[in-house]
């Protein structure tokens, strides 16, 4: 797409072209000294297919995240009464994802996209988040390998890029859609429940709304809660095998906060 920003733009023509050819690389310029030929060259020199864009947007150091969704914008989280340690791989993560997790009662450690799996597991997380991010998941094999090594170890949650990486780690293939998901009113059917949710390109990433899919954070919390309970049951089973005969439920109640 070529146009001078000061000129009228035929958006109908642009829409028809995109509908016919799919998503295209475009250039907008306010610099009249740049020729059309130069703008064309710029547009043809850039693409998102086959390029690792994650490494340029990921954080470079490990850090903690504590900010929650502001009260006037919060909805439905309420927290679970427990604190869960979530390690979040930053593939270009949006802050509102972290805010939603914090609002659900999570302690969050954000790590770079190339952070070694062994170091991640040493942090003893209750769950791992694979975040959103730009670009083509098929050209970041290091990220796919990271997901493979963590699957089955702790509960995981993938959003956008992270979701695609999970798919590849489990043997699936990804490809760039002709149009993709753009806008704020796309109906998506949840095949598990049959419910139709109104979704937006920027949610769950940015949390602005609609909020139909916010329950996914709650499901992640529930997975971590179940995993904690299983770990505690295993510890208590080991105690009983070693000669301790205190009733299970009393142990679960009395030592829950100590070991969780």
What's the pLDDT at 45? Answer: 85
54 in a domain, yes or no?
no
104 and 84 together in one domain: yes
Q: How many domains does the chain have?
A: 3
Q: How many CB atoms lie within 10 A of CB 157?
A: 24
69 and 21 together in one domain: no
Burial bucket for residue 239 (CB in 10 Å: 0-12, 13-18, 19+): middle
What's the pLDDT at 80? Answer: 57
27 and 116 together in one domain: no
Encoded tokens for 238: 């080991």
Q: Residue 21 sits in which domain range? A: 11-44
86 and 33 together in one domain: no
The arithmetic mean of pLDDT across residues 130-156, rounded, is 95
Catalytic residues: 160, 203, 205
In sequence order, which residues have a C-beta less than 8 Å from that of residue 173 and are 6 or more positions away?
138, 167
105 and 212 together in one domain: yes
Q: pTM score, two decimals? A: 0.79
Angle at which helix 215-241 crosses helix 248-259, to 10 degrees, equals 120
208 in a domain, yes or no?
yes
Q: Using 50, 70 and 90 to split pLDDT, how confident is the model at 48?
A: confident
129 and 153 together in one domain: yes
Give the highest mean pLDDT range of 8-17, 41-50, 156-165, 189-198. Answer: 156-165
117 and 24 together in one domain: no
What's the pLDDT at 93? Answer: 95
Tens of pLDDT, residue by residue over 4-46, are: 444 677 888 888 988 888 888 888 888 889 998 999 898 888 8
């Amino acid at each position: 797409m070529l146009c001078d920003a000061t000129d009228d733009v035929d958006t109908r023509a642009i829409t028809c072209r995109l509908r016919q050819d799919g998503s295209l690389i475009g250039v907008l310029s306010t610099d009249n000294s740049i020729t059309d030929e130069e703008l064309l060259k710029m547009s043809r020199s850039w693409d998102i297919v086959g390029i690792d864009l994650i490494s340029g947007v990921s954080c470079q150091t490990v850090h903690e995240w504590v900010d929650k969704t502001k009260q006037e914008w919060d909805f439905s989280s309420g927290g679970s009464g427990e604190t869960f340690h979530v390690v979040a791989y930053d593939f270009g993560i949006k802050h509102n994802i972290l805010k939603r997790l914090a609002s659900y009662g999570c302690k969050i450690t954000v790590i770079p996209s190339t952070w070694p799996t062994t170091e991640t597991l040493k942090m003893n997380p209750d769950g791992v988040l694979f975040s959103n991010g730009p670009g083509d998941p098929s050209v970041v094999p290091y990220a796919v390998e990271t997901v493979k090594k963590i699957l089955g170890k702790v509960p995981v949650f993938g959003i956008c890029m992270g979701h695609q990486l999970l798919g590849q780690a489990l043997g699936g293939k990804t490809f760039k859609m002709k149009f993709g998901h753009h806008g704020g009113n796309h109906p998506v059917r949840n095949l598990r429940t049959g419910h139709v949710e109104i979704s937006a390109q920027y949610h769950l990433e940015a949390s602005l709304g609609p909020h139909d899919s916010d329950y996914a954070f709650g499901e992640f919390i529930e997975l971590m809660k179940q995993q904690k309970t299983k770990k505690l049951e295993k510890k208590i089973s080991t105690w009983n095998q070693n000669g301790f005969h205190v009733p299970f439920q009393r142990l679960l109640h009395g030592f829950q906060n100590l070991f969780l």
